[in-house]
């Protein structure tokens, strides 16, 4: 089993990674983390290459991510909330998923044959809403052919309680791994 994790946090030891690490500790198989703040993936430039061609005209680390998306069984989008949305850096790299939309809409092709399970991990200080970010994450998962999405994992009071101390969020992280492992 292979799992792809898009991580939108700039803090390696922060609240989002506390939930991701709890998730990983219960996950079977291999996983790959795409760190939005530590990768060489440029955002979409709307060159429209993908309107008529498979893939993307930008040759960077995203080419390997496209390959892993084809192979993997599960995809997770993990992010802190910035103004009730996924982080800008995560949105920038996931803008490159535009090639999948264009394949379906313009070229009338199915770019990803293998169905995936999806998961969303969100962390916020308590101000604002998690719904916008969750809807954005689900849209991204949908375009990567995730049709079976687990209940959201979230800790939304991290200004008062660190995610690692949020018992419900930590249990939900474990449950997400079990869902991917086909045990939940």
* CATH at residue 59: 3.40.50.360
- The Cα 116–Cα 153 span in angstroms is 18
Q: Where are the alpha helices (DSSP H) in 83-144?
A: 88-94, 98-105, 131-143
Q: How many residues does the chain have?
A: 184
Summarize pLDDT for 39-73 with one digit per residue, the tens: 999 999 999 999 999 999 999 999 999 999 999 99
The answer to the question of residue 112 being in a domain is: yes
Asked if 26 and 74 touch (Cβ cutoff 8 Å), the reply is no
Residue 162 located in a structural domain: yes
Asked if residue 184 is part of any domain, the answer here is: no
Q: Which domain holds residue 130?
A: 2-178
pLDDT digits (tens, 9 = 90+) for 132-157: 999 999 999 999 999 888 899 999 99
120-143 residues labelled b (16+ CB within 10 A) or e (exposed):
bbbbbeeeeebeebbebbbebbbb
Query: In this predicted structure, what is the pLDDT of residue 183?
Result: 59
Residue 147: inside a domain, yes or no?
yes
Q: Is the pLDDT confidence value at 184 over 80?
A: no
Give a yes or no: residue 113 inside a domain: yes
Look at residue 120 and tell me if it is in a domain. Answer: yes
Whether residue 7 lies inside any domain: the answer is yes
Does the pTM surpass 0.75? The reply is yes
């Amino acid at each position: 089993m292979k799992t792809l994790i898009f991580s939108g946090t700039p803090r390696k030891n922060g609240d989002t990674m506390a939930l991701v690490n709890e998730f990983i500790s219960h996950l079977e198989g291999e996983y790959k983390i795409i760190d939005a703040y530590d990768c060489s993936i440029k955002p979409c430039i709307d060159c429209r290459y993908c309107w008529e061609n498979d893939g993307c005209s930008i040759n960077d680390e995203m080419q390997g991510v496209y390959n892993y998306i084809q192979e993997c069984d599960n995809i997770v989008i993990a992010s802190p909330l910035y103004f009730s949305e996924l982080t800008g850096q995560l949105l920038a790299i996931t803008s490159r998923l535009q090639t999948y939309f264009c394949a379906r809409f313009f070229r009338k092709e199915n770019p990803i044959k293998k169905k995936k399970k999806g998961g969303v991990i969100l962390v916020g200080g308590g101000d604002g809403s998690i719904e916008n970010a969750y809807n954005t994450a689900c849209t991204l998962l949908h375009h990567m052919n995730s049709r079976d999405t687990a209940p959201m994992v979230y800790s939304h009071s991290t200004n008062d309680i660190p995610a690692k101390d949020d018992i419900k969020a930590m249990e939900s992280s474990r449950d997400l791994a079990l869902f991917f492992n086909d045990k939940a």
